[in-house]
Structure 1
Amino acid sequence: MELRNKRWSEQEFYAMREEVLQQWPTGREVDFGEAVKYHESIPAKRHFAKRLVKAKKNGETLTQPRAGVALIQEHINLLNFLSQEGEADLLPTTIDSYTRQNQYKEAQNGIDESRRAGRSLLNGFPAVNHGVEGVRKVVESVNAPLQVRHGTPDARLLTEITLAGGFTAYEGGGISYNIPYAKNVSLEKTILDWQYCDRLVGLYAEHGVEINREPFGPLTGTLVPPSVSHAVAIIEGMLAAEQGVKNITLGYGQCGNLIQDVAAIKALEQLADEYFRENGYPDCVLTTVFHQWMGGFPQDEAKAFAVISWGAAAAALAKATKVIVKTPHEALGIPTKEANAQGLKTTKQLINMLRDQMFPITKDVEDEIAIIKAETRCLLNKVFELGQGDCAIGAVRAFQAGVLDVPFAPSKYNLNKILPARDNQGAVRLFDTGNLPFTPDIIDFHQQKMAERGKAEGRNPSFQMVIDDIYAISHGRLVGRPR
């Protein structure tokens, strides 16, 4: 198929679907008509989209962890623990690495070895191997909305099985689950594959089943400028909307400066409303997700709780619809369920304390909103220009030209020319703007911010600042100052 941002015809979708459902034997369990009826039986309290709409209306910030293990009953036990002990509002199912790479034989070996060992030997839940029946056991055994979270360039079969199994929310996108996760997979392929996933969600919507879709906002997670992640989120959101998706959550990864983080969520909401309306998607319900700090964490648990608390406060003050919560074991590997619950309870306490407090929209916040919006418009408008009005084609060409560029990404389809660093107040700026199509005054703004920090620290702005900032939080600071 030729890539373009146009809704797939039924003929195009079903021709590909025949191939997708044959990728692993559990694909034969999928029956779309029966799955629609199954979704109709799911109560509202376990429906992700409905819970987000209610939260947005009431000004709530919902909590959600990451979690997944190899075996069905152990995964059920984990989710129920996080719901009951951790007080999570929304629940995930994090998918294992083999499934993310479509290596289903290896995933099955991991299931078999986990059964013999009596503990999970996979870093997530292998939903494709467990099939529709296994997924439904999970869905029916927890009392909160469930979302699939993963990192899969080709998630077509995973989407089919988990949605037929009763999941009511699904994360990812053809850019955000490619550029930060894969080295050799082309954007043309992943955007097409994710158009399939979005068309499937659109078909559910046409049958009265509303499934929430969430592009992965943080991208590489470390020092990603808000305008870069916003541009990708809005593009992926519009790609989903074109395929018929009606409920979309756009994400942002915490940078660490409170003014910038609050301004980023505000700017994302405003820009998304603007671009969705202008491009023909005014009926989409849009919500936001704030990801707590995605970079390096301190190994000391007490210090890690401080990082979690700062993310919780920023999410609450920004009035994000939900927050993805980290754990005090972040620097150590896969967390215990107890540590995961501790991160959730810490976050919930901060949110509850700040729920009735409004962050003042001062001139500093307004200025930050303005610069984020101006930068993001530069990126998005250039994408549309390169694609001659088509954001799918434009996104591919933009990455080829470095007009879109994600810092520290492994993909060979990403130019990797931009270099982010913090300014003297800890906001993420660009030491090197690469080929981003910013106006001269925006480029000057970033250079001035780097110069101000250099003057304060008594050193010339250099690549060393980038390195220092990457490790700063794990070393106990926000800005990587010279010691």
Structure 2
Amino acid sequence: MEVVNKKWPIEKLFAQREEILKTWETGNEVADIKKGIEYQKSIPKAKNFAKKLKEAKENKVTLVQPRAGVALVNEHIALLQFLQDEGGADLLPSTIDSYTRQNRYAEAQKGIEESVSSGRSLLNGFPAVNHGLENCRKVVESLKSPVQVRHGTPDARLLAEIALAAGFTDYEGGGISYNIPYAKDVSLEKTIYYWQYVDRLVGYYQENGVEINREPFGPLTGTLVPPSISHSVAILEAILAAEQGVMNLTLGYGQCGNLIQDVAAIQTLEELAEEYLVNNGHENRQLTTVFHQWMGGFPQDEAKAFGVISWGASAAALAKATKVIVKTPHEAMGIPTKEANAQGLRTTKQIINMLKDQTLPESKQLLLEKEMIKKETRAILDATYKIGEGDWAKGAIRAFESGIIDIPFAPSRFNAGRILPARDNDGAIRLLDSGDLPLTKEIQDFHNEKIAIRGKAEDRDPSFQMVIDDIYAIGKGFLVGRPS
């Protein structure tokens, strides 16, 4: 399979579509794509994700969105209505279950049946493919807010078909961000190809007058991911999506914990994405940003968990992210109750409302952080383009093979896994070991110096122990993993 960054002819999409719709019986329900397009056109403007994000960006408002999904339709609707009405969510998700993410629809069906028998959800999300077109439309029609599909699926083609025809107006994921952090043995050639299908499908809806927003998964593995790594993947997936005709893109970043670095990251993400999209012939794209509250370990104590949530809300608000994905005080214990989920939303909204008129003043530290993130990201992306001989799809595959792009702690055997991130003395994410990233000596010296300052302050040599300490630090009530 040779994957190239070239817009698919519509005949190619439709030819593959016939086979994709046969992979589960509910695929037959969306065979007439024109009906899906007409249904999307009937959805009110207030329930369209892209339009609501555009309005928020223009008004410099940060919207709040939870994660949520259960096995059965009525219970899923009740959960989302509660988060909408009691939590004050501006945007809503349908988080998909693990069986659907792996295209194991027969096991998802069994999970639905057992959930009915037991009277409680025995799946960790909403099995949209199994529920089919009409049930998914029932979800959309029961809510006042726009709804997004959030999942983690390497091959998300059938799920995309059903979700778009059902009226979901935002589709999350990408061929890199829903492969390397999620799967062990799935090649990038396959997943980039699968997601070209998804993006061409979204592009076809766009060509027929329907705005669908696309959101690559920003946090990747979620813990100690340097901004330049997540930026590089986000921008790569944005370019690949734009080539297939996607016009609305929300690029994400997972909170690192140092306020200045987090604000710098959101600001540079949009600036760099605009730069690379325009330079590759993709003008007039609507670009928005999403800030993910801390994706690592949480304290078990709920009061302390609210502290972590509030810090994430503060960073999102001061960075002026277009939306923030909200955590709950039950993060350390597993799937949250709807009440806990709503509490996280209300906490976040309170902070955002208090900070909406404030900005983080421009400072020497902020400017330096932005400069370094831009230098690192450009170094990675430019090397990716070069190794791909001018083709971003080929470049992405070869960049991972060579370690030019390397995601820390990823399970994929197609990821080099050589870099080691650790915090500096101020809690910003730096590189203890930069692996084979194509960084200049200036950049490497910057990271080494920052790590050395921490080592001196802690009276220990920088080592892998620092990485371990930092991974567990927030769960223990700190940001930097100092020696006890």
Report the CA distance between 1:269 and its aligned residue.
1.1
CA separation in 1, counterparts of 2:59 and 2:10? 38
Matches within 5 A, 1:67-86: 67-86=68-87
% identity of equivalent residues: 70
Q: Distance in 2 between matches of 1:40 and 1:209?
A: 6
Per the alignment, residue 8 of structure 2 pairs with 8
Q: For 1:245 and 1:401, how far apart are their aligned partners in 2? A: 29
Unaligned runs of 5+ in 1: none
Secondary structure, aligned partner of 1:330 = coil
Aligned to 1:394: 395
The 3-state SS of whatever aligns with 1:170 is strand
Q: Distance in 2 between matches of 1:181 and 1:87?
A: 30
Distance 2:23 2:474 in 1: 43
Aligned partners of 1:361 and 1:76: how far apart in 2?
44
2:24 aligns with 24
Which residue of the partner structure matches residue 34 of structure 1?
35
Residue of structure 1 equivalent to 2:314: 313
2:405 match: 404
TM-score, reference length from structure 2: 0.99
1:96 corresponds to which letter in structure 2? D
Question: CA deviation digits over 1:437-481, x for unaligned, max 9?
Answer: 000110111111111000000000011000000000000100000
Q: How does 1:297-336 map to 2 (within 5 A)?
A: 297-336=298-337
Structure 2 CA distance, aligned partners of 1:11 and 1:27? 19
What does 1:45-194 align with in structure 2 at a 5 Å threshold?
45-194=46-195
Deviation at 1:283, TM superposition (A): 1.4
* 1:147 Cα deviation from its structure 2 partner: 0.2
Q: Distance in 1 between matches of 2:284 and 2:384?
A: 23
Aligned partner of 1:427 in structure 2 is 428
Any idea what the Cα deviations from partners look like across 1:244-299, whole Å, max 9, x if unmatched?
A: 00000000000000000000011111101110110010111000000000000000
TM-aligned CA distance change 1:189 to 1:179, over 3 Å: same
Q: What is the RMSD computed on CA atoms of the aligned residues?
A: 0.5
TM superposition shift of 1:361: 1.2
AA at the equivalent of 1:301: E
Distance in 2, matches of 1:200 and 1:322, equals 25
Per the alignment, residue 212 of structure 2 pairs with: 211
Aligned with 1:28: secondary structure? helix
Mapped to 2, the partners of 1:127 and 1:14 lie a distance apart of 22
Give CA-to-partner distance per residue, 1:182-232, whole Å, 9 cap, x none: 000000000000000000000000000010000000000000000000000
**TM-superposed deviation, 1:359:** 1.1
Spell out the pairing of 1:329-348 with structure 2 (5 A cutoff). Answer: 329-348=330-349
Give 1:131's aligned amino acid.
G
Give the letter aligned to residue 323 of structure 2. Answer: K
CA apart distance, 1:358: 1.4
Q: What SS does structure 1 have at the residue aligned with 2:288? A: strand
Kindly indicate whether residue 279 of structure 2 is the aligned counterpart of residue 278 of structure 1.
yes
CA distance in structure 1 between the partners assigned to 2:85 and 2:11 by the alignment: 45
Task: Report the secondary structure of 2:422's partner residue.
Answer: strand
The amino acid that maps onto 1:327 is T
* Number of aligned residue pairs: 483
1:480 paired with 2:454, answer: no
The letter for the 1-side match of 2:5 is N
Name 2:269's counterpart in structure 1. Answer: 268
What is the rounded CA distance, in whole Å, between the counterparts of 1:184 and 1:42 in structure 2?
39
Equivalent position SS for 1:460:
coil
The one-letter code matched in structure 2 to 1:66 is R
SS at match of 2:294: coil
User: TM-score normalized by structure 1?
Assistant: 1.00
Specify the alignment match of 2:362 in structure 1.
361
C-alpha distance in structure 2 between counterparts of 1:182 and 1:39, whole Å: 32
| Displacement after TM superposition at 1:53 (Å) | 0.1
Taking the aligned partners of 1:12 and 1:88, their CA distance within structure 2 comes to 39
- Tell me by how many angstroms 1:11 deviates: 2.0
Matched, 1:241 2:242: yes
**Cα separation, 2, equivalents of 1:254 and 1:377:** 21
CA shift, 1:307, in A, is: 0.1
Matched residue SS, 1:323: strand
Distance in 2 between residues matched to 1:358 and 1:256, nearest whole Å:
17
Counterpart code for 1:6? K
Structure 1 ranges of 4+ moved more than 3 A:
none
Hey, what's the Cα distance between the residues in 2 that align with 1:84 and 1:282? 38
Task: State how far apart, in whole Å, the 2-side matches of 1:9 and 1:273 are.
Answer: 26
CA deviation after TM superposition for structure 1 residue 2, in Å: 2.5
Query: In the TM superposition, what is the alpha-carbon distance from 1:363 to its structure 2 partner?
Result: 1.2
Partner of 2:199: 198
Q: How many Å separate the matches in 2 of 1:182 and 1:2?
A: 21
SS across alignment from 1:63: strand
Secondary structure in 1 aligned to 2:125? coil
Which deviations, in whole Å up to 9, do the C-alpha atoms of 1:3-23 show, x marking residues without a partner? 000000122111211110000
**1:288 correspondence with 2:289:** yes
Name the residue aligned to 1:441. 442
Aligned counterparts of 1:302 and 1:347: Cα–Cα separation in 2: 14
Distance 1:303 1:216 in 2: 27
Kindly state the Cα deviation for residue 56 of structure 1 after the two structures are TM-superposed: 0.2
CA distance in 2: counterparts of 1:3 and 1:14, whole angstroms? 18
